[in-house]
Amino acid sequence: MDTKLNRMNEEQVSLLDQVTADQPFAGGDSAESVAQFKAELASLALSLGVTADQLLRTAETSSDYREEYSKALMLSRRIARFSK
């Protein structure tokens, strides 16, 4: 048995259980994931009244901050990663 595992303290076990139990896997293959991320990006863009491309352009180049910009940047990375 891994000795490190034996050293896991109660807080770590609790945190791990919480992270695993509270958010069950969304599942899906890469194609489904990409479709989902694209839909999320489109929805974010729509909420701001712009296209997905316009949202990404602004997120990358603007000095303004909006939570949607950070989300859009992360979604664009995921789309690229899971499209490969």
Partner 1 sequence: MKQLKHDWNWLEDYLSVHEAVIGRFQQYMITSNSYSHKWFNSEYLELSISFTLRTHQGALVNVSIMKDVEVKSLVPSKGKKTGRRRARTEAYTYVAYRSGQGCLLRYCSPHDRLFDKSSDHHEFHHKHDFTSGQEIITRTGDNWPHVDDFLSEVMSRL
| Interface with partner 1, residue 80, by CB under 8 A | yes
Tell which positions 24-63 bind partner 1, by CB under 8 A.
Answer: 24-28, 33, 36, 56-57, 59-63
- Residue that the structure tokens 């945190």 belong to: 15
Using only the alpha carbons of the chain, give its radius of gyration: 18
Instruction: Determine the Cα–Cα distance for residues 21 and 75; give it in Å rounded to an integer.
Output: 24
Interface positions with partner 1 (CB under 8 A) = 1-2, 4-5, 8, 11-13, 15-16, 18-19, 22-28, 33, 36, 56-57, 59-65, 67, 70-71, 73-74, 76-78, 80-81
